A = this chain, B = another copy of it.
């Protein structure tokens, strides 16, 4: 079977099925997924197809793979998050000025959000917006 030509490709269907098993708790947090060899037997597809399905789950954060060990659902402990926010006004650098089509140095509203996971900074999100000249209402 080269290409199904019906609806979704098989690797996506398999990804949907595995995602469902993780979300439903059938595969609990931290637990290993069945090995690729097992999944190829269950779904009767080539290993490459299984690997592609798992790659989708990895990108979505539903799975973590480790060489020689296996692929497992993310543990819940890692999901403990805590965020703080801060807002300030900053001049636009060349890149931002180009994006917004304004002169460099134009003041922008910048909001920085710091997300911590298990007391360690995990992600820093910075949001830039044009400063409204007149409140539009």
Q: Are B134 and A123 in contact (CB under 8 A)?
A: no
A85-137 contacts to B (CB < 8 Å): 96, 98-101, 114, 120-130, 134, 136-137
Q: Are B127 and A125 in contact (CB under 8 A)?
A: yes
Q: Are A122 and B129 in contact (CB under 8 A)?
A: yes
Q: Choose the segment among A1-9, A31-39, A58-66 that binds chain B (4+ C-beta atoms closer than 8 Å).
A: A58-66
Which of the residues B67, B124, B127, B134 comes within 8 Å of A124, measured between beta carbons?
B127
CB contacts (< 8 Å) of A136 on chain B: these are 58, 64-66
CB contacts (< 8 Å) of A44 on chain B: these are none
Q: A55 within 8 Å of B by Cβ?
A: yes
What distance in Å separates the Cβ of A130 from its nearest Cβ neighbour in chain B? 8
Q: Are A99 and B121 in contact (CB under 8 A)?
A: yes
What distance in Å separates the Cβ of A52 from its nearest Cβ neighbour in chain B? 11
Give the distance in Å from the alpha carbon of A122 to the alpha carbon of B121 in the complex: 27
- Known A-B contacts A114-B99, A137-B58; A125 and B123 likewise in contact (beta carbons under 8 Å): no
Q: Are B134 and A128 in contact (CB under 8 A)?
A: no
Give the distance in Å from the alpha carbon of A13 to the alpha carbon of B69 in the complex: 26
Task: Name which residue of chain B comes closest to A66, CB basis.
Answer: B134
CB contacts (< 8 Å) of A129 on chain B: these are 122-124
